Amino acid sequence: MSDAATAPVSPSAARSAVVAAAIELFAKQGFDQTSVEQIARAAGVSRSTFFRQFGGKEDVVFADHELLLDQLRAYLATPHENPWVAVCEASVRVFTHFTKDAELARRRYSVVRQVPALRDREIVTVFRYERLFDEYLRQALPGLDPLDAVGFSALVTAVHNHVLRRLLRGPRRVPVAELRRALDDVLRRFGVHPDGVESAPDDMAIAVFPRRMPIAEVARRLKSELG
């Protein structure tokens, strides 16, 4: 027998197997009609193991988001030359995660759409991403107007969800490049694209910065240029 056949399953792989088994059962027989015992049996784990990994059935549905939020906190805690771009890259990381198994993501989306309690939790989960981006920008750019922080965070989150729903609602493949193009537009709308923006009639001349660029970003760029 090969080493690959005898190698132990990693904790993350085992956890993913439980999530996949649960989503498949929810899709086939309904969320309320599926018991923890059925999920554990389908995933090949004990009931106690299930509860050690997840707090309940709802937690299985949103397990990926908990993992992703932890990963994004760690990513945003590292230094970034451009905080605005870092937020967009965080959004791309989330999108990329769900494209790796689009069929599972679609089944999960279908389950959530059918259960009011899950839809409510999804709304809260989306807000957690938005709040994470908002808090990061305020910390990374001291003096940033809170309206600019929350506005940018909300727009990135909304654009991300719009593109992600294209993937979840149909069978077609949605490349990450589609999201990157949309996020480039977000950066330009706020005047913070690293490649600069085209001039507009209402631009205010502060060096070469457009009127719509947040003051905190102007200060950050001037500080960077002046060393």
Helix, strand, coil shares, percent, the chain, to 5: 70, 0, 30
In this structure, what token pair is assigned to residue 135? 């808090």
Whether residue 136 is contained in a domain is answered as yes
Asked whether residue 34 is assigned to any structural domain, the reply reads yes
196 — alpha (psi -120 to 50), left (phi > 0) or beta?
left
Domain-ending residue, one of 36, 57, 78: 57
Question: Residue 146: inside a domain, yes or no?
Answer: yes
DSSP letter for 172, please.
Answer: S
Helices within 3-62 (DSSP H only): 3-6, 11-29, 36-43, 47-53, 57-61
Give the span between the Cα atoms of 135 and 153, in whole angstroms. Answer: 9
The CA distance from 197 to 214, in Å, is 14
Confidence (pLDDT) at 205: 43
Containing domain of residue 15, as a range?
9-57
Beta carbons of 88 and 186 less than 8 angstroms apart? yes
Residue 150 and residue 115 in one domain:
yes
Quick one: 154 and 193 in the same domain?
yes
Mark whether 122 and 188 lie in a shared domain: yes
Q: What is the pLDDT of residue 200?
A: 57
SS3 call for 7: coil
Q: Is residue 1 situated within a structural domain?
A: no
Q: How far is CA 35 from the centre of its chain?
A: 28
H/E element, 98: helix 83-99
3-state secondary structure of 209: strand
Q: Are residues 171 and 71 in the same domain?
A: yes
Give 174's contacts (C-beta < 8 A, 6+ positions apart): 99, 163, 164, 166, 167
Size of the chain, expressed as the number of residues it contains: 227
Note whether 48 and 84 are same-domain residues: no
Low pLDDT (below 50) residues in the chain:
1-7, 9, 204-206
Residues 27 and 134 in one domain: no
203 and 180 inside one domain: yes
Same domain, 163 and 126: yes
> Does a structural domain hold residue 16?
yes
- Domain annotation covers residue 4: no
Residues 208, 164, single domain; the answer is yes
- CATH code of residue 39: 1.10.10.60
For residue 116, give both structure tokens.
Answer: 């009011």
- pLDDT for 222 equals 78
Judgement on whether residues 52 and 102 belong to the same structural domain of the protein: no
Q: With CA atoms as reference, report the closest residue to 94 among 130, 141, 120.
A: 130
Residue 3 lies inside a defined structural domain of this protein: no
pLDDT the model gives residue 94: 97
Q: What is the pTM of this model?
A: 0.81
* Number of domains forming the structure of the chain: 2
CATH number of the CATH domain containing 192:
1.10.357.10
Do 49 and 67 sit in the same domain of this protein? no
Same domain flag for 109 and 212: yes
The Cα 138–Cα 144 span in angstroms is 6
> Are 199 and 210 within 8 A, CB to CB?
yes
